Amino acid sequence: MVSDLKKLHIHYDVKDHFISMDNFSTASNAIQKIIDDLSKQVFGGRLRYQLVIIPPEEGTFLKTVGICTFIANVTLVPLTSDYITGVFEELTSHSPQYYASNHVRAIRDLTKGFLSKETEDLEKCIPRELNLDRAFKAKSDFYTSCQTNKKIRGLGFDDSKDFPIKSDHFKNYISKDKTRPLESDFVIYDAILTSPVTEDKNFQWDFEDTVTGQKISAYMHDESFKQDVLNGKYPIKQSESSDTLKILVEYQKQERNGEVIKRETCIKTVYRFNDVEITPILKDLPKGTKFQQILTTPMEKFWKH
């Protein structure tokens, strides 16, 4: 059941009564991502809402996004912290208390304020603790799309004929990619060596996980094992899928514009080469290390005894 509806206007100053489908689509995606980020960071993701498109009116091109909220069984309040209060005041000129239970108006005004501020000013009032990186990227995509369309002379975020953001200033609303470090994932595999590196070069080794058949391509960071292979201590068989290894693989990650991406996959330690144990698996493994093991059914365990 819809409990409220507020309009968020994106007003394009264009000579003709239309814009390109690309501009329209980019704007819609940007608004969705910005509101998603604000809802998650300010209301803990508990605000139930839906975005709808309201048909434009004649004159320039007025794209109106309707924000519908739904009746909830719990009272929603913004997450309490000094920096969230500061963000409200910077983006809306009001405190969170001003909005009381009118959450949809709050999210609409926060979004409008986020879109209206230049990047330099926005980065001053949005603390790093409030992860709106995805919203920053969405806003940049929106303004880049507008900048590309030379027919868009300006922008406004109400239904008036005033367009305070002129096209030659669009560049001031575009931000650089934002990255955040993330802890790596670690997995111990029993793997088949499908493509070794037998030269002293930083190429990727290829493996196949014996449990799932997953293909693994990784850089060899176990320098001791690498040199032993090059010196002939562990000769590589010529036939494919012959050599087996137990390896610790690190998946290095980072967050870019709010999305998790892989940076590099590398082999930290080779524990076993075929039947030769090179080094035991120590207890001080990186936190959260997973073991990729073959799962046995209760009946298989029964027949082993």
Evaluate whether residue 136 is within a structural domain. Answer: yes
Give residue 13's identity as a one-letter amino acid code: D
pLDDT value, residue 303: 46
Domain co-membership, 209 together with 234: yes
Residue 173, token pair as written in the block: 């609303």
Q: Which of 127, 146, 176 is the last residue of a domain?
A: 176
Q: In this predicted model, what pLDDT tens digit does every residue of 118-129 receive, in sequence order?
A: 999 999 999 999
Evaluate whether residue 301 is within a structural domain. Answer: no
**Residue whose entry in the numeric block shows the structure tokens 């929106």:** 142
Indicate the pTM of the whole model.
Answer: 0.81
Domain co-membership, 171 together with 186: no
pLDDT value, residue 18: 83
Q: In this predicted model, what pLDDT tens digit does every residue of 71-99 receive, in sequence order?
A: 444 445 565 678 888 999 999 999 988 98
Mean pLDDT on 106-132: 95
Domain co-membership, 159 together with 257: no
Contacts of residue 233, Cβ cutoff 8 Å, sequence gap at least 6:
none
Domain co-membership, 241 together with 264: yes
Do residues 186 and 268 make contact, with C-beta atoms less than 8 angstroms apart? yes
* Residue 68, burial from CB neighbour count under 10 angstroms (0-12, 13-18, 19+): middle
Evaluate whether residue 303 is within a structural domain. Answer: no
pLDDT value, residue 37: 95
Name the domain count of the chain: 2
pLDDT > 70 in the chain, percent: 87
Supply the mean pLDDT for the chain: 88
Taken in order 116, 119, 120, 125, the sign of the CA dihedral is: positive
* 188 pLDDT above the threshold of 70: yes
Evaluate whether residue 304 is within a structural domain. Answer: no
pLDDT value, residue 1: 44
Lowest mean pLDDT among 35-39, 126-130, 290-294: 290-294
Domain co-membership, 113 together with 15: yes
Domain co-membership, 168 together with 201: no
Q: Please indicate whether residue 7 or residue 60 has the higher confidence score (pLDDT).
A: 7
- ∠ CA 70-74-76, nearest 5°, is 80
Q: Domain holding 233: CATH number?
A: 2.40.50
Q: In this predicted model, what pLDDT tens digit does every residue of 145-156 receive, in sequence order?
A: 999 999 999 999
* 40 pLDDT above the threshold of 70: yes
Where in the sequence is the domain holding 74, given as residue range(s)? 2-176
Domain co-membership, 104 together with 79: yes
Q: Which of 176, 209, 240 is the last residue of a domain?
A: 176
Domain co-membership, 220 together with 256: yes
Domain co-membership, 205 together with 147: no
Domain co-membership, 110 together with 129: yes
β-partners of residue 252 are 264
